[in-house]
Structure formats: structure tokens, C-alpha cells
Amino acid sequence: MGAIRFALIGVGKIARDQHLPAIAGNPDFDLVAAVSHHDPELDVPWFATLDALMASGIAVDAVALCTPPQVRHALAVQALHHGLHVFLEKPPGATLAEVETLRAIADARGRTLFASWHSRYAAGVDLAKAWLAERQIRAVRIVWREDVREWHPGQEWIWQAGGLGVFDPGINALSIATHILPQPFHATQAVLYVPANRDAPIAADVAFTDVSGTQMSMNMDWRETGAPTWDITVETDDGTLRLSVAIGHARLVLPHALHEGPDREYAALYARFARLIADGISDVDVAPLRHVADAFLLGQRRLVEPFVE
């Protein structure tokens, strides 16, 4: 089998910063086209719509959807009906039900659907999972704080219904937690701080518990003006684990051990996608999105000052 003929749908910041370098660095993929509302100025043909790409005669095997989640479902349905394999940026959709629909379509058509969670591929995450599997968890604290003006400038969609607000980065923490913690957990209460002029929260506090009654807290805030904090701390019967995930690298601190590594998340995602296609299977884990949905179901909405960029 030759290289997977690949098209990128949506050529915004995440596509340019992460997807394009990862595609270029993986010989299993050959970027043959892009779909964007504006000329992305790439060295491949571009089209304003997926239908226009399909009508062009360019052979495509797979696509990555890097659009806002509110419009991703319709594009994924189109792609699957055209017989394409589909890579979904996180979150995989605006709702749980639409992702399950995509899974059913992919299964029926024998196509690969990949719900990607890039933070699970950060350095130290698998080591953290293995270390925690042999210990008793006593408490978990997640702190995910950053300046929205720095990290999400001009992204109006993120403030709209379905855009998740502060949970858009926060879901990265939940993707790690659902991967490394040895027992399932669920939300018990949540407070969502919503600007008076927006649909989605700018900050949130969520409490969780697992089947053993272990307490877990999560604090997210987009009003952080200093250095960002992306930390997961787990207290165990054998000491404390701290995993810090940052742009460019990740750092895992264990009792008497330190592990650090560079950012290879998207390279690993594309390697995983190629293996899934070769094996003829899908990978659609909705656990992180389910926790976000539960937080919105349980959440007390508290209005805060309007957000003006």
C-alpha cells in the first residue's frame, strides 16, 4: 500500500502549528489538497468546500477535520459517505450523540474514525499511567489556567454554544485523567462562570469522585494573566505524582524520579491514525467529552463580567 492520500479540512492555527508539520514528517501520508474558506497558501490545490474537492477528481483516502466542533459533524458525515477515513480534532464533536452517529456510519462503511486526544501522547503520560496502576489513589487535583487572550485570540466560535469555552483546553486535562487514573470517575458538582455577553464559561470548578470515593477537583480559568498552569497532581499511598503539560514539552515528577520530554503529540497521533487505517479499525473514546457534558448538566451558572477581547 502506498502513502495515504490526505486532505486537511480547516487550515487555522492548530492545523498550521501542529497538523501540517506532523503530516510532513510522516511518510505514510501524502498531503494532496486542503479545504478552507480562504486560500491557505499551501503547495497543494485548495477548495472552498469538501464537495468541491470530491468533484475535482483528486484522489483522497483520508481527511483531518480541524474546523470548530459545531460544524464538524456534517463534514465528517460527508467524508464518510465519500468513503474517506476521518481524523477528528479534539473535541470530536459538539455533542456525544453526534459522535456516536459518526461511529455507526464509519463501522457500517468499513472506514476508520479517529477521535484524537493529543495530550494523551505527551511525554510521561504512559509512565504516569503505569506508576499509578500499582498504587492507591488518595486525592487528585487538576489546575488548568491560562490567558484566553494569548492562547485563543479572535476565536469567536469558542465562546458560542457548542464551543465549550474554558473546557476546550480543559478537556485536554480530562483526556489525560481518563487515561492515567486506574478507576473510572464521575462529576458530582460543578460551577460554571459565564461572562454576561457569552454562551460558554470563562472559568469552571468541577468536583469528581471515583468508585472508591476518592475526591478529585478541577479548576479551570481563562483569566490567568501570568504563566499558564497545566498541572495534574495525584496523591497516592506511595507519594505524590505531578504531571505538567506545556507547549513544547511535558514534565512528570515522581517520588525520587523526574521524566521530561519534547512535544511529539501530533507526530504520535498521525502514527496512530496510520496504524488504525492499516488495521481497518476505529478509535473513538468519548470519555473526556462525557465528563464535559456532565459538568454542563450539573453546573450552576454564575454570571461574571462581560468578556471583551
Active site residues: 90
103-127 in b/e form (b: 16+ CB < 10 A) is bebbeeeebbbbbbbbbbbbbbbeb
Q: How far apart are CA 40 and CA 260, in angstroms?
A: 35
E strands of the chain, at which residues? 4-9, 29-35, 46-47, 62-65, 85-88, 113-115, 137-145, 185-195, 203-210, 215-221, 229-236, 239-246, 249-254, 257-262, 300-304
Q: How many residues does the chain have?
A: 309
Task: Give the orientation angle of helix 287-298 with respect to helix 167-180, to 10 degrees.
Answer: 120
Contact (CB, 8 A) for 201 and 189? no
Q: How far apart are CA 167 and CA 222, in angstroms?
A: 10
- β-pairing, 215-221 vs 137-145, is parallel
